[in-house]
């Protein structure tokens, strides 16, 4: 049964850790089966990689993206198997939007694994290592961050790319321009502005070549109308037309993630309980900053999943 007050959110890059989901795999056969399915598509053992590989290996974007997609889908399948309520809405942060599309029935899991591996590869290739950068800006309003980026660009690319919560914005672009924008944000009164350990400037115009290369592959993949509405990063609205969803997933690669607006859209549509479906608890923390009235749950551990199933029973 659908719980009209329940939303599911799916994390993006940065939530990956060696050893993640180890407990869940022992408790839920769906986790093992989902990783096995992904491994057969990828041609390597994804479970072995995330349990026995190195952090450096799982931080390679073309591996990170299938890994996080698989983790989120595995936990959602475990949620379903445990009798968890059907959410009324879904959203994913950046890469996590692909997890939301799979769990809402828009596209097959195997197709998503193929596409996000290619998405990761193309995004990494779009800007040579060392030429792009990202930074987190804390304690400055959106307009001030945007103004700092505009004055720092000087003909290069730097822009706000993740509106994560009020007072927390990520900027990205060419390395020198990001460096200038960090200083400009500090001068404008930011509490902190610090570089992130990411090798490519995601969600900027510099990613447009990657989007253009991925577009034909997205176009050739079967997409369906969502069974559960998904709020999209690009405009913080839902979309039911498969062709429009394909276009949004291309545009998403070089457009900002409007996460604050996505969570606000959920809250205004009646969401009271939010489940973060994937490793970590970044999105649950952001949700509480965006709207204090929301109850947020994490389900990476078996006991967390069981407790959340009971807490959000429809």
**Active site residues per annotation:** 94, 203
150 and 188 Cβ atoms separated by less than 8 Å: no
The backbone region for 226, taken as left when phi is positive above 0, alpha when psi lies in -120 to 50, beta otherwise, is beta
Tokens of 170: 């990520």
Tokens of 117: 């591996």
Q: Which residues contact 14 (CB under 8 A, 6 or more apart)?
A: 198, 280, 282
Q: Which residue has the tokens 């078996």?
A: 302
Give CA–CA dist 158/128, Å, rounded: 16
Distances (CA, A) of 9 to 62, 91, 150: 22, 5, 31
The dihedral sign for the CA sequence 278, 60, 43, 215 = positive
Q: What is the DSSP string of 51-86?
A: HHS-HHHHTSHHHHHHHHHHHHHHHHHHHHHTTPPE
Task: Give all strands of the β-sheet with 86-92 in edge-to-edge order.
Answer: 86-92, 2-10, 273-276, 295-298
Tokens of 178: 């990001």
Helical packing angle, 208-219 and 242-251, nearest 10°:
160
Give CA–CA dist 222/209, Å, rounded: 23
């Amino acid at each position: 049964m659908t719980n009209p007050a329940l939303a599911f959110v799916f994390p993006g890059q940065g939530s990956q850790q060696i050893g993640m989901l180890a407990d869940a795999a022992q408790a839920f056969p769906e986790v093992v089966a989902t990783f096995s399915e992904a491994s057969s598509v990828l041609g390597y053992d994804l479970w072995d990689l995330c349990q026995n590989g190195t952090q450096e290996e799982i931080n390679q974007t073309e591996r990170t993206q299938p890994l996080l997609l698989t983790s989120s889908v595995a936990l959602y399948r475990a949620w379903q198997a445990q009798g968890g309520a059907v959410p009324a809405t879904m959203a994913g942060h950046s890469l996590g939007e692909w997890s939301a599309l799979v769990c809402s029935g828009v596209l097959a899991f195997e197709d998503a694994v193929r596409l996000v591996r290619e998405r990761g590869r193309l995004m990494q290739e779009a800007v040579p290592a060392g030429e792009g950068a990202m930074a987190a800006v804390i304690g400055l309003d959106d307009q001030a961050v945007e103004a700092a980026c505009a004055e720092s660009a000087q003909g290069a690319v730097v822009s706000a790319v993740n509106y994560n919560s009020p007072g927390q914005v990520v900027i990205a672009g060419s390395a020198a321009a990001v460096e200038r924008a960090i200083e400009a944000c500090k001068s404008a009164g930011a509490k902190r502005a610090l570089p992130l350990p990411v090798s490519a400037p995601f969600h900027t115009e510099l990613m447009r070549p990657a989007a253009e290369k991925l577009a034909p592959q997205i176009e050739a993949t079967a997409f369906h109308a969502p069974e559960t509405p998904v709020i999209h990063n690009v405009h913080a609205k839902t979309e039911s037309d498969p062709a429009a969803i394909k276009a949004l997933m291309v545009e998403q690669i070089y457009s900002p993630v409007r996460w604050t607006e996505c969570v606000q859209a959920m809250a205004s549509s009646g969401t009271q309980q939010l489940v973060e479906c994937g490793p970590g608890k970044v999105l649950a923390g952001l949700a509480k900053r965006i709207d204090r009235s929301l109850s947020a749950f994490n389900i990476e551990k078996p006991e967390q999943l069981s407790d959340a199933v009971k807490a959000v029973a429809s």
